[in-house]
């Protein structure tokens, strides 16, 4: 192989890689734009965020006042409200027809999607992220504003928020992998939505959306902390709010491991699903 | 007493031009941009009991608006109408007991359940006495031959079967007037013929007055004895089918696709309607010319790739009527 | 003669709706089960909360469970029998399906509201009754009161939904908006009113009447008060009357055809 040939080879590979990635970028863009095409929808959903934040702010405000304490479960009032803002942004941002895989399996559309020139899992991840992003941002902005207004102070350091981005991204990625695995269950179970429903409720309760895990009674708290749900909800939110660098590092580690496992699970499911599709024809 | 009497019935709408979504809706509420549309313009006609009348017109001509006024769903801007002696928009409930309407697109039957369950509900809606209801149901099941369909979920029935059940359902309370909108739409030839036979039998045996809206020339020609044509809100034809047939349906259109270009051939009583590179449409006056001879001649003289023989579209018939009228 | 015929009609309508829902046995059970589970989750939350913080402005766990029980049962009755009071009932108006109800010799409001049902609603009813029976364990004398209050809440929810849906007669497809407002109503009905300041409390007894569904019934069940009971029932009746008035006004507009025109 001449040097020229080798260089050309590398260039071609790089170019092909760029081309390959471009289609995902395009998919991301299209998904994002279609979300933004209906701004009324986004604003209407914001009403719900406002209501929930208002109610929970009142709840915690009252609780803190009644007990005359400055911190509860390791959070000040302001931190508690920001914690809520973050957990809600993570959980409420998932679009209703989260991955559409369930539907695609049921209608048989999946078979056609596999024939397309892209990696199905990656493609769906990209479109799901694009749909989730505007919802996440709007929810965070509104909920964060309300948290600040209600507590009278900005309880989160902007630096922490910035540092929190990777942690949040990892959380959403883990969630995606779990939802993907559940949706693929549609290959074996008629309808995967009940399982998704249970998963959501477990996230809300044991993940710590409604009540931080630090306020759980002893035994339950231990169990909840050990479950992967906390890497999606409680841990990211509390790490950002506390600004604790060491906890941040530990969390990233934990999330990476969880993501690896979740990803393996999802890919395994996908492999089996495709195999089943190829033998049964969907 | 006439079954339906309409005189000078007029309906004007204030159309609000609105944008899409909630924003558009709210804007339309506070600062509306309006224009007036006359959907029905001084329509008058009388239908005697026992008649089967075709109610024809292009889309947007005002047919459904007229029927909505006759069934009491809309009230008119001006003019008068009575159905069975009652003013529909004022005595709607009272009239509802004595009329029925079947819309091809709109189903009366619960989709997931057998027709029988929906029939039971209708019996309650129309306050039918249980004994009378059972007897009537048996009659209709026999007439419409829907015995084996009564206990299957409606979603499992074919379109033809479903429509038979829908029409049967509408007759439970022995209505004196039946408004049928596109009863044969989407049906295959056999189902369509079955439906036409049923409507005729119904009219013969029970004297039900039928007002039939249809785009299907076959429906109109076979079942109806009279046709009212509406165009742009006005009646442009109100006469027997025999007249309609004689004057306007006496044509057939031959639609040719050629594999080699050619000039249209000339025949007496045949008009070339359309001519392009590989396409030719000829209108044959079938009262004066023999269709089969023309077709044979065409096929022998031209390189024909495809041939279709059609009735003139109803729209053309109506347009011709309208041109004649104005 | 007429009231009996109306009853017969309603019975048949409910029977048809239930049978259609149960035609998919698995779906029905799942729908019921999951709604009950969903409601349960909130009780678990409150249990955890109250295990750390004993009382909230005088509200205890029992009070919150009672509130959930009444609201869930009431909402379940409303949407389980008159499902078109939900925001999706707007589709009937906007699609022109209302023509069908108008062409029949029956009360249009009744037929409209009863034209569809929510399967999940029965999960709410199941949950509400069980939660009250097992968690609160009330004295037997409380049950007639519970049922009466649940019915009042049902009427309030129904009327509120009807009122919201009637907006569609004027502004077209208001389903999204109506859904959000209804959600606000339901959400506020499940949190102790004493958490909020005076301004909010006033709002919750007027524009979003969650005070009548989530607060008054609980106080009456805690300690019987004929005035509060009367106020709840009277409000329910008044709201229903208002909703029907608005609906008929909207129907009049529908019959003028201007609704149809607005779509194009």
Q: What are the residue boundaries of the structural domains of chain A, listed by start? A: 20-280
- Pick the more confident residue, B200 or A183: B200
Instruction: Indicate the SS3 state at residue C201.
Output: helix
Of A174-188, B76-90, B114-128, C194-208, the range with the lowest mean pLDDT is A174-188
pLDDT score of A147: 92
| Chains with ≥3 CB–CB distances under 8 Å to B | A, C
Residue B111: its chain C contacts at CB < 8 A?
Answer: 20
pLDDT score of B161: 92
CA atoms in the 13 A half-sphere facing the CB of B217: 16
B–C CB contacts, 8 A cutoff, strictly below:
101
- CB-based contact B74 C171, cutoff 8 Å: no
What count of other Cβ atoms lies within 10 Å of the Cβ of residue B276? 9
- CB-based contact C8 B13, cutoff 8 Å: no
Q: Mutate one of C96, C103, C114 to test the B interface: name it (highest B CB count within 10 A).
A: C103
Q: Mutate one of B95, B125, B169 to test the C interface: name it (highest C CB count within 10 A).
A: B125
Distance of alpha carbon A37 from alpha carbon B83, whole angstroms: 49
Residue of B nearest to C261 (CA): B15
- For the stretch C148-177, pLDDT in tens is 999 999 999 999 999 999 999 998 889 988
Per-window interface: B 44-83 vs C, CB < 8 A = 65, 68, 71-75
User: Nearest Cβ partner of C38 from A40, A44, A201?
Assistant: A201
Distance from CA of A25 to the nearest CA of C (A): 31
pLDDT score of B28: 63
pLDDT score of B22: 63
CA angle, residues C176, C178, C184, in degrees to nearest 5 = 110
Helix orientation angle between C25-52 and C2-22, rounded to the nearest 10 degrees: 90
- Is B14's Cβ below 8 Å from some Cβ in C? yes
Residue of B nearest to C176 (CA): B22
- Is A38's Cβ below 8 Å from some Cβ in B? yes
- For chain B, state the CA radius of gyration: 23
Q: Where are the alpha helices (DSSP H) in chain B?
A: 21-30, 63-70, 92-96, 115-125, 130-144, 159-170, 189-206, 217-223, 241-248, 291-301, 314-325
- CB-based contact C48 A220, cutoff 8 Å: yes
Residue A116 has φ and ψ, to the nearest 5°, of -75, 155
- Which residue's structure tokens are 């409380």? C142
pLDDT score of C219: 94
Among C106, C125, C114, C124, CA closest to C15: C114
Complex-level ipTM beyond the 0.90 threshold: no
- For the stretch B42-58, pLDDT in tens is 999 999 999 999 998 87
- Is B20's Cβ below 8 Å from some Cβ in A? no
| Chains with ≥3 CB–CB distances under 8 Å to A | B, C
- Is B28's Cβ below 8 Å from some Cβ in C? yes
Which is it for strands B226-231 and B78-83: parallel, antiparallel or unpaired? unpaired
Of A2-6, B8-12, C37-41, the range with the lowest mean pLDDT is A2-6
pLDDT score of A1: 57
- CB-based contact C183 A59, cutoff 8 Å: no
CA atoms in the 13 A half-sphere facing the CB of C56: 26
**B235: which strand partners?**
B230
Residue C101: its chain B contacts at CB < 8 A?
Answer: none
- Helical (H) or strand (E) element with B236: strand B234-240
- Pick the more confident residue, A1 or B202: B202
Contact call for residues A238 and A79 (beta carbons, < 8 A): no
pLDDT score of C72: 97
Helix orientation angle between A158-184 and A77-92, rounded to the nearest 10 degrees: 40
User: Nearest Cβ partner of A194 from C34, C41, C51?
Assistant: C34
Residue of B nearest to A43 (CA): B22
Residue of C nearest to A52 (CA): C187
Give the pair of three-digit tokens for residue C203: 């709002």
Average pLDDT for B88-115 = 92
Residue of C nearest to A58 (CA): C195
User: Nearest Cβ partner of C51 from A41, A67, A217?
Assistant: A217
Instruction: Indicate the SS3 state at residue B35.
Output: strand
Average pLDDT for B275-303 = 87
Domain that includes residue C74, residue range: 2-262
pLDDT score of B314: 65
Residue A91: its chain C contacts at CB < 8 A?
Answer: none
In what side-by-side order are the strands of the sheet with B177-181? B99-103, B177-181, B209-213, B52-56, B226-231, B234-240
Number of domains in chain C: 1
Residue B325: pLDDT over 80: no
Distance from CA of C117 to the nearest CA of A (A): 20
pLDDT score of B187: 87
Distance of alpha carbon A261 from alpha carbon A249, whole angstroms: 19
Residue B244: pLDDT over 50: yes
Q: Mutate one of A46, A201, A206, A221 to test the C interface: name it (highest C CB count within 10 A).
A: A201
- Is A67's Cβ below 8 Å from some Cβ in B? no
- CB-based contact C19 B93, cutoff 8 Å: no
Q: Which residues of A touch C (CB under 8 A)?
A: 40-41, 44-45, 47-48, 51-52, 55, 58-59, 62-63, 66-67, 191, 194, 197-198, 201, 204-205, 210-211, 215-217, 220
Q: Mutate one of B21, B24, B25 to test the A interface: name it (highest A CB count within 10 A).
A: B21
A–B CB contacts, 8 A cutoff, strictly below:
5
Mean pLDDT of chain B: 88
Residue A217 has φ and ψ, to the nearest 5°, of -60, 150
pLDDT score of B324: 67
Among B55, B32, B87, CA closest to B181: B55
Distance of alpha carbon A125 from alpha carbon A137, whole angstroms: 18
User: Nearest Cβ partner of B97 from C105, C172, C257?
Assistant: C105
Residue B21: its chain A contacts at CB < 8 A?
Answer: 38, 40
pLDDT score of B118: 96
pLDDT score of C263: 43
Residue A48: its chain C contacts at CB < 8 A?
Answer: 180, 183-184, 187
Residue B22: its chain A contacts at CB < 8 A?
Answer: 40, 44
Distance from CA of A227 to the nearest CA of C (A): 18
User: Nearest Cβ partner of C102 from B16, B73, B113?
Assistant: B73
Contacts of A103 (CB under 8 A, 6+ apart): A97, A109
- CB-based contact C105 B73, cutoff 8 Å: no
Average pLDDT for C127-148 = 93
- CB-based contact C261 B92, cutoff 8 Å: no
Residue A38: its chain B contacts at CB < 8 A?
Answer: 21
Distance of alpha carbon C63 from alpha carbon C136, whole angstroms: 8
Distance from CA of C252 to the nearest CA of A (A): 29
Residue C128: pLDDT over 90: yes
Distance of alpha carbon C226 from alpha carbon C237, whole angstroms: 16
Of B12-21, B193-202, B283-292, C221-230, the range with the lowest mean pLDDT is B12-21
Distance of alpha carbon A219 from alpha carbon A217, whole angstroms: 6
Distance of alpha carbon A235 from alpha carbon A214, whole angstroms: 10
User: Average pLDDT of each block of 10 consecutive residues along chain A (282 residues)?
Assistant: 65 73 85 80 82 93 88 89 93 74 72 77 84 89 91 84 90 91 80 84 90 91 92 93 88 93 89 77 52
- CB-based contact C261 B13, cutoff 8 Å: yes
- CB-based contact C174 B22, cutoff 8 Å: yes
pLDDT score of C262: 45
- CB-based contact C49 A67, cutoff 8 Å: no
pLDDT score of B292: 87
- Which residue's structure tokens are 């044969």? B184
Average pLDDT for B127-151 = 94
């Amino acid at each position: 192989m001449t040097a020229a040939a080798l260089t050309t080879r590398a260039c071609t590979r790089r170019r092909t890689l760029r081309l390959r990635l471009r289609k995902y970028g395009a998919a991301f863009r299209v998904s994002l734009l279609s979300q933004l095409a209906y701004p009324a929808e986004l604003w209407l959903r914001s009403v719900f965020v406002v209501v929930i934040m208002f109610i929970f702010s009142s709840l915690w405000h009252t609780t803190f006042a009644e007990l005359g304490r400055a911190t509860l479960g390791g959070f000040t009032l302001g931190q508690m409200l920001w914690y809520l803002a973050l957990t809600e942004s993570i959980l409420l941002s998932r679009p209703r027809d989260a991955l559409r895989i369930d539907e695609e399996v049921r209608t048989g559309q999946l078979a056609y999607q596999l024939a397309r020139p892209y990696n199905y899992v990656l493609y769906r991840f990209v479109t799901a992220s694009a749909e989730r992003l505007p919802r996440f941002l709007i929810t965070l902005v509104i909920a964060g504003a309300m948290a600040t207004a209600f507590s009278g102070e900005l309880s989160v350091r902007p630096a922490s928020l910035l540092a929190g981005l990777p942690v949040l991204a990892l959380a959403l990625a883990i969630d995606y992998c779990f939802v993907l695995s559940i949706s693929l269950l549609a290959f074996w179970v008629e309808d995967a939505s009940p399982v998704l429903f249970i998963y959501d409720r477990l996230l809300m309760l044991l993940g710590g959306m409604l009540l931080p895990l630090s306020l759980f009674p002893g035994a339950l708290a231990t169990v909840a902390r050990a479950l992967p749900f906390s890497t999606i909800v409680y841990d990211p939110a509390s790490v950002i709010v506390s600004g604790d660098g060491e906890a941040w590092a530990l969390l990233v580690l934990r999330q990476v491991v969880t993501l690896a496992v979740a990803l393996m699970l999802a890919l395994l499911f996908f492999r089996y699903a495709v195999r089943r599709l190829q033998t049964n024809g969907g | 007493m006439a079954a339906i009497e309409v005189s000078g019935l007029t309906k004007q709408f204030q159309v609000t031009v609105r944008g899409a979504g909630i924003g558009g809706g709210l804007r339309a509420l506070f600062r509306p941009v309006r224009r007036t549309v006359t959907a029905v313009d001084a329509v008058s006609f009388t239908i005697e009991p026992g008649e089967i009348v075709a109610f024809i017109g292009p889309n947007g001509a005002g047919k459904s608006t007229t029927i909505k006024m006759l069934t009491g769903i809309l009230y008119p801007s001006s003019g008068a109408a009575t159905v069975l002696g009652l003013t529909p928009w004022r005595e709607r409930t009272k009239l509802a007991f004595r009329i029925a309407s079947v819309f091809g697109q709109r189903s009366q039957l619960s989709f997931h359940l057998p027709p029988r369950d929906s029939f039971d509900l209708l019996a309650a809606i129309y306050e039918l006495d249980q004994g009378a209801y059972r007897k009537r149901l048996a009659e209709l099941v026999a007439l419409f031959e829907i015995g084996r369909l009564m206990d299957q979920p409606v979603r499992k029935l074919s379109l033809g079967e479903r429509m038979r059940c829908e029409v049967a359902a509408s007759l439970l309370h022995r209505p004196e007037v039946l408004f049928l909108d596109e009863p044969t739409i989407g049906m295959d030839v056999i189902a369509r013929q079955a439906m036409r036979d049923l409507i005729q039998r119904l009219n013969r045996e029970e004297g039900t007055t039928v007002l039939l809206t249809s785009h299907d020339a076959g429906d109109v020609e076979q079942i109806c004895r009279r046709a009212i044509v509406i165009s742009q809100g006005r009646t442009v034809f109100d006469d027997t089918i025999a007249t309609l047939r004689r004057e306007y349906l006496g044509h057939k259109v031959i639609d040719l696709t050629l594999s080699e270009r050619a000039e249209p051939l000339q025949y007496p009583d045949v008009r070339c309607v359309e001519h392009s590179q590989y396409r030719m449409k000829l209108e044959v006056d079938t009262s004066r010319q023999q269709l089969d001879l023309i077709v044979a001649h065409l096929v022998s003289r031209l390189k024909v790739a495809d041939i279709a023989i059609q009735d003139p579209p109803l729209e053309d018939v109506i347009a011709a009527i309208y041109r004649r009228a104005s | 003669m007429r009231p009996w015929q109306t009853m017969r009609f309603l019975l048949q309508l409910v029977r048809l709706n239930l049978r259609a829902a149960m035609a998919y046995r698995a779906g029905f059970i799942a729908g019921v089960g999951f709604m009950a589970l969903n409601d349960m989750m909130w009780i678990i939350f409150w249990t955890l909360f109250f295990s750390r913080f004993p009382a909230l402005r005088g509200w205890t766990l029992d009070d919150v469970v009672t509130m959930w029980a009444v609201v869930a049962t009431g909402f379940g009755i409303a949407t389980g029998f008159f499902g078109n009071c939900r925001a999706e009932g707007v589709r009937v108006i906007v699609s022109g399906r209302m023509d069908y109800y108008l062409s029949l010799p029956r009360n249009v409001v009744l037929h409209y509201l009863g034209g569809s049902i929510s399967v999940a609603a029965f999960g709410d009813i199941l949950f509400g009754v069980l939660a009250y029976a097992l968690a609160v364990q009330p004295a037997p004398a409380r049950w007639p009161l519970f049922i009466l209050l649940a019915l009042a809440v049902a009427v309030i929810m129904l009327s509120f939904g009807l009122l919201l849906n009637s907006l569609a007669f004027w502004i077209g497809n208001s389903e999204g908006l109506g859904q959000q407002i209804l959600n606000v109503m339901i959400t506020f009905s499940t949190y102790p009113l004493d958490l909020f300041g005076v301004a909010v409390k006033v709002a919750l007894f007027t524009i979003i009447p969650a005070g009548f569904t989530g607060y008054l019934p609980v106080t009456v069940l805690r300690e019987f008060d004929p005035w509060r009971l009367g106020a709840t029932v009277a409000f329910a009746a008044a709201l229903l009357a208002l909703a029907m008035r608005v609906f008929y006004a909207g129907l009049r507009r529908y019959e003028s055809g201007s609704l149809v025109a607005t779509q194009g």
